[in-house]
């Protein structure tokens, strides 16, 4: 079956969408990505849509779902490279996708992930020199 490849890029996952997706393909991507995040424990996902000439309501909502699911799995999704025509159309459709982070390109997306993941990563023992010990579940 046709699938959109998910690549591992260092600590992150990269999905480059280059085909016009029908609904089934989009749902398959959602399933695949969810599983991959879970399996790899990856905390950052970049979805590159710079080659997409159209994003309709179904695909838009798929991205929103993905971001929400990823968040539950402690990962963050950044959608990069949305084209102006696509952005204008989505806004006209009434979809502003508020829960999704976006960046102009993969490079900036990675920088964004780096910053926010550094801010939210739990310190590991001995890391900060003060010997605070395990940041484990509350007693």
Site for other proteins contains 103 (CB under 8 A): yes
Among 22, 121, 124, 127, binds other proteins (CB under 8 A): 22
From the list 87, 131, 106, the residue with the least C-alpha distance to 44 is: 106
Q: Between 118 and 122, whose beta carbon lies closer to other proteins?
A: 118
Stretch that binds other proteins, among 10-18, 33-41, 79-87, 121-129 (CB under 8 A): 79-87
Among 3, 8, 24, 71, binds other proteins (CB under 8 A): 24
Among 10, 93, 126, 135, binds other proteins (CB under 8 A): 93
From the list 117, 121, 118, 82, the residue with the least C-alpha distance to 100 is: 82
- Gyration radius of the chain's alpha carbons: 17
Q: How wide is the angle at C-alpha 91 spanned by C-alphas 61 and 20, nearest 5°?
A: 55
Q: Between 36 and 108, whose beta carbon lies closer to other proteins?
A: 108
- Interface of this chain with other proteins, residues 118 to 137, rule: CB under 8 A: none
Please, which residues have CB within 8 angstroms of residue 55's CB and are 6 or more apart in sequence?
Answer: 49, 63, 82, 86, 89, 90
Q: Between 75 and 82, whose beta carbon lies closer to other proteins?
A: 82
Site for other proteins contains 3 (CB under 8 A): no
Collapsed DSSP state (helix, strand, coil) of residue 69: helix
Q: How far is CA 44 from CA 63, 66, 89, in A?
A: 14, 12, 27
Site for other proteins contains 94 (CB under 8 A): yes
Please report, as ranges, the residues that interact with other proteins according to CB under 8 A.
Answer: 20-24, 53-58, 61, 80-97, 102-105, 108-109
């Amino acid at each position: 079956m046709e699938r959109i490849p998910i690549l591992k890029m260092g600590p992150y996952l990269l999905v480059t969408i280059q085909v016009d997706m029908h609904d089934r393909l989009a749902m398959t991507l959602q399933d695949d990505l969810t599983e991959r995040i879970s399996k790899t424990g990856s905390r950052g996902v970049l979805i590159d849509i710079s080659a997409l000439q159209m994003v309709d309501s179904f695909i838009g909502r798929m991205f929103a779902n993905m971001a929400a699911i990823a968040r539950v799995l402690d990962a963050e999704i950044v959608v990069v490279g949305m084209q102006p025509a696509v952005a204008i159309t989505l806004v006209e459709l009434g979809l502003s996708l508020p829960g999704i982070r976006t960046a102009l390109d993969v490079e900036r997306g990675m920088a964004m992930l780096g910053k926010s993941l550094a801010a939210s990563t739990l310190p590991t023992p001995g890391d900060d020199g003060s010997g605070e010990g395990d940041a484990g579940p509350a007693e």
